[in-house]
């Protein structure tokens, strides 16, 4: 029986023959029958399989291709079954048929049926990963195609075809590197432990092995933290390379080291990878570990403080406004504290946040804000009064004309691994400028010792070291019982009527930063003896926002010793 070739058409030719000998002759003769030609009906499937590589290592991905060609004359329904090795694992959703994905299917369980017409070629692709080294260091794989077709007489015929056997040799000299970290969620300032496992699953020793880990920006190595198989190696650092020497077959080397997360201003994720270089059979090999990624959990909390008005005077009230915003996706628990300068007094009952009054809350002692949800904002307002010059802060106001303070926010947040972290953020400076005249009077009396009923000279300087002009007059200018004699000198002229003893001296307007000096004579009362002491009093007025304000200050104390006259 032989085949008569033809395009997609097959015939089976059959002819019988008879061998015989007749009578007395010994010659053999042959008689042929007629030739019977039978048409051959059915698909002719050729299954071929190949892999993208002939050698591979553990962890490597392999791509298999199965090609089915139909050179017959009938359409077949095929179903591919490819029992994979237990040393490999199918990559999910990697099966393709003629480039079209077949999600969720597995060659081991059988791929969905498909038709293949005469003259067509059906192509399958799928990927597997080598998960361990097979005992014979070889992966063998063969595909099987189960098919069926319908004859011209409507009979269903089944058949099976197998592919060639595909062989992939496993490189046993390739070392394996695994990188791990004790916590995948972290924060700025956190200390983490990394572990690198270097193993030799093969049967050939590796030499001159050097492990290197490059740290991403935002992570610093903690010196002297490296251990190799639980032995400290304080002189080595991962980024400079750790010499592991020889690694024999079946050996595992464990390297551990600590790092610290330094900043939260960088990316939200930090990735690290270990690289191992080693020699085997005179050839250098390089293998990389898996990539370990850290997720930085750091709420973005901001606090802004303002004061209105920015310029005021003693006795007036200023309003502070603090905005606390959470621009991250993490909720925090927060407490606010705002300690006011000594000359500012919190107005009880004035504090509110988001427009709601909070009786009893005081920024000096701290305000519990509760939970600040993600992408939220909180507005806090309160009032503070500048103490008057006659209050307890008079000396503070006299030497300081602006008050700078910041609000402090303490907040905590929880990581996915249940750790709790506390942070402290400080607002910008809120500057409140206090304007006022600061009148200072200095007096010297000469001579310090006089006889009973004698005259003395008062040398007086009046200065304004403040920031506003003021009209000033001096009181208590003479000791009790003394008489005005007249002005003795000085750059300013005193307008005092002749033969009168004034109670006040009108200095006039004294600008900010200006000073006036003058001197006058006084005759002491005849009956006064002993020690006379006194101070001059400055009474002044100034204007602010159309309103007149007044103040008072005193000079230094002077002393006069009055001696009795000799008779």
- At residue 1, the pLDDT reads 37
Task: Tell how strand 430-434 and strand 311-312 pair up.
Answer: parallel
Cα–Cα distance for residue pair 129/127, rounded to 1 Å: 7
Cβ-contact 248, 200 below 8 angstroms = yes
Cβ-contact 560, 531 below 8 angstroms = yes
Q: Residue 148: which residues within 8 A CB-CB, separation 6 or more? A: 76, 77, 156, 157, 158, 159
**The total number of structural domains that make up the chain:** 5
Element holding 397 (H helix, E strand): helix 394-399
- At residue 489, the pLDDT reads 79
End position of a domain, from candidates 170, 187, 203: 170
Same-domain pairing of 469 and 444? yes
Same-domain pairing of 332 and 359? yes
Higher-confidence residue: 467 or 59?
467
- At residue 538, the pLDDT reads 95
Same-domain pairing of 77 and 124? yes
Token readout for 120 is 């067509």
Cα–Cα distance for residue pair 542/470, rounded to 1 Å: 5
Least confident of 39-43, 160-164, 282-286: 39-43
- At residue 8, the pLDDT reads 43
Cα–Cα distance for residue pair 406/322, rounded to 1 Å: 10
- pLDDT of 335 > 90? The answer is yes
Number of Cβ atoms within 10 Å of the Cβ of 368: 9
DSSP state at residue 240: G
Question: In 3D, which of 253, 143, 263, 261 has the Cα closest to residue 209?
Answer: 253
Burial 156-183 (b: 16+ CB within 10 A, else e): eeeeebebeebebebbbbbbbbbbeeeb
Please give the sequence-ordered ranges of beta strands (E in DSSP) within 348-427, or none if there are none: 352-353, 356-357, 367-372, 376-386, 402-405, 408-414, 420-426
pLDDT-derived band at 461 (thresholds 50, 70, 90) equals: very high
- pLDDT of 213 > 90? The answer is yes
- At residue 488, the pLDDT reads 86
Higher-confidence residue: 25 or 362?
362
Cα–Cα distance for residue pair 178/555, rounded to 1 Å: 82
Number of Cβ atoms within 10 Å of the Cβ of 381: 17
Mean pLDDT in residue range 306-326: 93
Q: In what order do the strands lie in the sheet with 269-272?
A: 185-186, 292-296, 269-272
- At residue 549, the pLDDT reads 87
Same-domain pairing of 129 and 187? no
Question: In 3D, which of 411, 405, 413, 436 has the Cα closest to residue 424?
Answer: 411
pLDDT-derived band at 382 (thresholds 50, 70, 90) equals: very high
The rounded percent of the chain whose pLDDT value lies above 70 is: 91
Cβ-contact 303, 426 below 8 angstroms = yes
- Find the CATH number of the domain harbouring 498: 2.60.40.1530
Cβ-contact 478, 536 below 8 angstroms = no
Give pLDDT tens digits for 186-208: 999 999 999 999 998 877 788 99
- Find the CATH number of the domain harbouring 115: 2.60.40.740
Place of tokens 């270097």: 198
Cα–Cα distance for residue pair 449/59, rounded to 1 Å: 107
- At residue 129, the pLDDT reads 92
% helix, strand, coil for the chain, step of 5: 0, 55, 45
HEC string of 187-222? CCCCEEEEEEEEECCCCCCEEEEEEEECCCCCEEEC
Mean pLDDT in residue range 480-489: 88
Cβ-contact 364, 346 below 8 angstroms = yes
- pLDDT of 400 > 60? The answer is no
Number of Cβ atoms within 10 Å of the Cβ of 276: 23
Cα–Cα distance for residue pair 431/492, rounded to 1 Å: 38
Same-domain pairing of 462 and 385? no
Same-domain pairing of 392 and 373? yes
Can you tell me whether residue 286 is helix, strand or coil? strand
End position of a domain, from candidates 245, 270, 296: 296
Same-domain pairing of 323 and 430? yes
pLDDT-derived band at 265 (thresholds 50, 70, 90) equals: low
Same-domain pairing of 461 and 380? no
Higher-confidence residue: 324 or 435?
324
Cα–Cα distance for residue pair 6/32, rounded to 1 Å: 26
- At residue 266, the pLDDT reads 64
pLDDT-derived band at 22 (thresholds 50, 70, 90) equals: low
Element holding 396 (H helix, E strand): helix 394-399
Same-domain pairing of 339 and 459? no
- At residue 56, the pLDDT reads 84
- At residue 20, the pLDDT reads 66
Same-domain pairing of 289 and 352? no
Cβ-contact 516, 491 below 8 angstroms = yes
End position of a domain, from candidates 380, 403, 434: 434
- At residue 25, the pLDDT reads 58
Range of the domain at 70: 45-170
Same-domain pairing of 197 and 257? yes
Least confident of 297-301, 391-395, 465-469: 391-395
Beta bridge partners of 301: 326
Higher-confidence residue: 563 or 256?
256
How many angstroms separate the Cα of 273 from the Cα of each of 179, 224, 270, 413? 7, 20, 11, 29
Same-domain pairing of 279 and 313? no
Mean pLDDT in residue range 95-113: 93
Q: 401 exposed, middle or buried (CB, 10 Å; 0-12, 13-18, 19+)?
A: middle
- pLDDT of 254 > 80? The answer is yes
Question: In 3D, which of 445, 441, 442, 440 has the Cα closest to residue 559?
Answer: 445
């Amino acid at each position: 029986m032989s085949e008569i070739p033809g395009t997609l058409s097959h015939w089976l030719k059959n002819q019988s023959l008879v061998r015989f000998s007749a009578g007395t002759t010994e010659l053999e003769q042959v008689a042929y029958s007629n030739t019977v030609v039978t048409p051959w009906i059915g698909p002719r499937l050729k299954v071929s399989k190949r892999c993208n590589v002939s050698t591979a290592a553990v962890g490597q991905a392999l791509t298999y291709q199965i090609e089915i060609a139909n050179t017959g004359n009938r359409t077949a329904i095929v179903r591919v079954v490819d029992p994979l090795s237990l040393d490999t694992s199918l990559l999910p959703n990697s099966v393709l048929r003629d480039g079209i994905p077949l999600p969720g299917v597995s060659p081991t369980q059988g791929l969905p049926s498909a038709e293949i017409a005469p003259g067509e070629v059906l192509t399958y692709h799928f990927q597997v990963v080598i998960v361990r080294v097979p005992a014979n260091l070889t992966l063998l794989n063969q595909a099987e195609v189960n098919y069926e077709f319908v004859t011209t007489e409507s009979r269903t015929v089944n058949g099976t075809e197998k592919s060639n056997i595909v062989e992939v040799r496993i490189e046993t000299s390739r070392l394996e590197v695994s990188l791990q970290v004790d916590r995948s969620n972290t924060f700025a300032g956190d200390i983490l432990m990394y572990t690198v496992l270097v193993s030799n699953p093969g049967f050939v020793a590796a030499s001159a092995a050097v492990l290197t880990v490059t740290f991403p920006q935002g992570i610093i190595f903690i010196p002297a933290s490296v251990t190799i198989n639980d032995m400290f190696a304080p002189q080595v650092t991962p980024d400079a390379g750790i010499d592991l020497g020889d690694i024999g077959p079946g050996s595992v080397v464990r390297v551990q080291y600590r790092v610290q997360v330094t900043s939260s201003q960088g990316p939200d994720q930090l990735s690290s990878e270990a690289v191992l270089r080693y020699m085997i059979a005179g050839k250098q090999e390089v293998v990389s570990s898996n990539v370990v990624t850290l997720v930085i959990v750091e709420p973005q909390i901001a606090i802004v403080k303002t004061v209105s008005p920015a310029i005021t005077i003693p006795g007036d009230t200023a309003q502070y406004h603090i905005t606390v915003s959470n621009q991250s996706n993490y909720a925090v628990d927060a407490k606010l504290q705002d300690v006011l300068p000594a000359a500012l007094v919190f107005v009880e009952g004035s504090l509110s946040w988001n427009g709601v009054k909070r009786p009893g809350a005081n920024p000096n002692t701290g305000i519990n804000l509760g939970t600040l949800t993600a992408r939220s904002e909180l507005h806090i307002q309160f009032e503070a009064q500048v103490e008057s010059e006659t209050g307890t802060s008079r000396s503070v106001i006299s030497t300081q004309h602006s008050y700078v303070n910041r609000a402090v926010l303490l907040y905590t947040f929880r990581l996915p691994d249940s750790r709790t972290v506390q942070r402290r953020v400080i607002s910008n400076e809120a500057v409140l400028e206090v304007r006022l005249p600061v009148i200072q009077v200095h007096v010297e009396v000469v001579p310090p010792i006089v006889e009973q009923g004698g005259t003395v000279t008062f040398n007086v300087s009046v200065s304004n070291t403040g920031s506003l002009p003021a009209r000033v007059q001096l009181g208590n200018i003479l000791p009790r019982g003394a008489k005005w004699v007249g002005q003795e000198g000085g750059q300013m002229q005193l307008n005092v009527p002749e033969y009168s003893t004034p109670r006040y001296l009108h200095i006039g307007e004294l600008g900010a930063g200006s000073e006036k000096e003058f001197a006058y004579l006084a005759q002491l009362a005849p009956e006064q003896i002993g020690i006379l002491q006194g101070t001059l009093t400055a009474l002044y007025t100034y204007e602010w926002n159309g309103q007149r304000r007044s103040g008072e200050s005193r000079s230094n104390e002077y002393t006069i010793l009055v001696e009795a006259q000799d008779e």
